[in-house]
Structure 1
Amino acid sequence: MNFSFQIYSPEEQIHDSKFEDKNISVYIKRDDKIHPFISGNKWRKLKYQLEEAKEQQINHLVTFGGAWSNHLLATAAAAAQFGFRATAYVRGEEIQNPVLDMCRLFGMNLLFVDRESYRNKEELFQRGHNPQTSYFIDEGGKSDLGMKGCAEIISELEQQYDHIFVASGTGTTVAGIQLGIAKNNLQTKVHSIPVLKGAEFLKNEFQSWNIDPKLITLHLDYHFSGYAKVKPDLIAFIKSFISSTGIMIEPTYTGKLLFGVYDLIEKEYFKPNSKILVIHTGGITGLLGHLQHFNR
């Protein structure tokens, strides 16, 4: 079975008078266009894990996430498209929302677990599933195979950049990008905008993957109080960005990412003539959990 889409992820320039004033050029890689539901880094992190599951003749995917998880929806859609069964352990009390409804439509079985039990995902998997017939996919698709898929972003690029920025949760995507930079012998500087508060832990993650943390610059001031948290200035920025570019972004990942890039440009972080690439990691359905903030 072929797990490859015809990848469509163009690099588009974002035009803004602020960039021209600073003599900076900004591009965005539209990984959100890869697939309506298995978009962005979600597809890249799943791709090789699906291949491995099929090679092992395993047809049941077991994964983990929160109630608004784009990863759960991507896994559910991928399972339906490529002939797997799918089960997800959902963190917290049982609720109903549009993302989980779509997961169910794709045939995913949802198991809600308390937050304490959720912390030990391996134990949940071992207790409820046979590893010979079920395939473990960590929260957010975090894995070495996920990094391998994300590294392919670099080989797709149509031009070279001085800086590449991506939002980070588990750190898998930015680690993969750094691996791709090294593989292609590029001098591009890699930057992460973590969406979690206290994301210094990512440095330890990079070390565990044999990546020098000094090669990835963490910008730790754009989490807006924590994962999936928002503030009025972030919402105002997202509304302005969408209406001026026609590119849909959301508050959990891509909104914080682009807010950070714009802020760093405003603060003259970059040298004149710098060329910046922002990776749009998809997950637009993340908007559904925040629509109330945009109607005020």
Structure 2
Amino acid sequence: MFEHLNSPIQKIELPPFERLFVKRDDLIDPYISGNKWRKLKYILKEAQNQNRTHLVTFGGAYSNHLVATAALASRKNLKATAFVRGEEVTNQMLLLCKLYGMDLIFVDREAYKNKIHLFDTHFETDKNAYFIDEGGACLEATLGCEEIIDELDTTYDHIFCAAGTGTTASGLLNGIYKNNLKTKLHIIPVLKGGDFIAEEIKKYSSISNQLILHTDYHFGGYAKTTPELITFIKDFTAKTGMLIDPVYTAKMFFAIKDLAEKQIINNNDKILAIHTGGLLGMFGMMDKF
């Protein structure tokens, strides 16, 4: 588990683009896919270095991160617990977590804001417990995401990636610097008011003019969508044969197409989009389709 894996790069035919490629991290694993695999790789290594056998993390009721952590713990014969934000519910994602043996603790949204306090209150005496922040945000996570750039065997004018916490973006930016690339990194925050992502990226990377934030493609905010975005998803998948999700990757691909139409990027530029997985998130929006 977590041996070196270089996910494939696929060229897609999507007018008006002539050189649009996708790094298919969604194909890494069905349940520990995309940037979840990347982030957990070195988090697991650090937990093992500390001889911790109980992974404790945080997320919403439709969190891909929770499913990924649960699957990882099961495969590594580790215990896993998740603090789930909001009222107690049952859904497909949490069912997967339970099937993988993860214990779920539902907490109200106010208490959820203080994750360290929750961890200390419940697991202060558990010397095996290892704290993993929501979405896996930490320095170790950026190291795994940095390897995306290391795996590239050619250069690109632009690299695009959707962002929730900025951890993946930090890793990508560090990888660009390390490999001395001139590539522009375009980050699409999926939350409303996504300018805060820049401050999150600064925690693990230095900001330069190679980083460009596009904050107008949130479609109402995190896990929000519009009929326009749903129509785009249906058309994109039908034309390319590639599944994308409404929370992250659809917003990224919509942004790429829109920026090209506005001539902010050139159609014949060499573009790489990072498919960060998260396709299970569609379960939370079945009524939209």
TM-score (ref. length: structure 1): 0.94
For 1:110, the aligned partner's letter is L
Question: Among residues 60, 75, 94, which one is paired with 1:66 in the alignment?
Answer: 60
Residues 218 and 251 of structure 2 are in contact (CA less than 8 Å); yes or no, is this contact kept in structure 1?
yes
Two-structure CA RMSD over aligned residues (Å): 1.2
Instruction: Write the distance in 2 (CA, Å) between the matches of 1:245 and 1:65.
Output: 31
The structural deviation recorded for 1:210 is 4.1
Task: Please report how far the alpha carbon of residue 14 of structure 1 lies from its aligned counterpart in structure 2 after TM superposition.
Answer: 1.2
**Corresponding position of 2:136:** 141
Cα pair 1:87 1:110 within 8 Å, conserved = yes
The equivalent of 2:160 in structure 1 is 165
Alignment correspondent of 2:10: 12
**Counterparts in 2 of 1:36-185, with a 5 A limit?**
36-130=30-124, 132-185=127-180
Which residue identity is paired with 2:242?
A: I
2: distance between equivalents of 1:213 and 1:46? 27
Amino acid at match of 1:124: L
Q: Which runs of 5+ in 1 are unaligned?
A: none
Please tell me whether residue 254 in structure 1 is matched to residue 249 in structure 2. yes
The equivalent position to 1:231 in structure 2, one of 226, 229, 233, is 226
Q: List gaps (5 residues or longer) in structure 2.
A: none
For the structure 1 residues 272 and 35, does the alpha-carbon distance in structure 2 shift closer, same or farther, using more than 3 Å as the test?
Answer: closer
Note the C-alpha offset of 1:270.
1.4
- Cα deviation for residue 283 of structure 1 reads 0.9
Q: How far is the alpha carbon of 1:213 from its aligned partner?
A: 5.4
Could you tell me how far 1:55 is from its partner in structure 2?
1.4
- Asked if 1 retains the 8 angstrom alpha-carbon contact of 2:183 and 2:210, the reply is no
SS where residue 16 of structure 2 aligns? helix
Q: Which residue of 2 aligns with 1:273?
A: 268
Cα offset, 1:248, TM superposition? 0.7
Q: Does 1:32 align with 2:29?
A: no
Partner Cα distance (1:262, 1:17) in 2: 9
2:14/2:240 contact within 8 Å kept: no
Q: Which amino acid aligns with 2:143?
A: K
Query: Which amino acid in 1 is paired with 2:183?
Result: T
Label 1:241 to 1:136 Cα distance change in 2 as closer, same or farther (>3 A): same
Deviation at 1:216, TM superposition (A): 1.5
Instruction: Letter of the 1:170 partner, please give it.
Output: T
C-alpha contact 1:71 1:141 (8 A) present in aligned 2: yes
In structure 2, distance between residues paired with 1:161 and 1:132: 46
Counterparts of 1:127 and 1:248 in 2: how far apart (Å)? 41
Compute the TM-score of the two structures, normalised by the length of structure 2: 0.97
Give the 4+ runs in structure 1 shifted more than 6 A.
none
Instruction: Kindly indicate whether the alpha-carbon contact (under 8 Å) linking 1:11 and 1:158 is maintained by their aligned counterparts in 2.
Output: no
Counterpart residue identity of residue 169, structure 2: V
Q: Is the 8 A contact 1:147 1:175 kept in 2?
A: yes
Deviation at 1:18, TM superposition (A): 1.6
What CA distance in whole angstroms lies between the structure 2 residues aligned with 1:115 and 1:243?
38
Deviation at 1:266, TM superposition (A): 1.2
CA deviation vs aligned residue, 1:178-215 (integer Å, no higher than 9, x gap)? 00000111111111000000111112122232411543
Are 1:193 and 2:199 an aligned pair?
no
- Partners of 1:90 and 1:215 in 2: CA distance: 36
**SS at 1:17's partner residue?**
coil
Contact between 1:89 and 1:113, CA under 8 Å: does it hold in 2? yes
The alignment partner of 1:18 has SS state of: coil
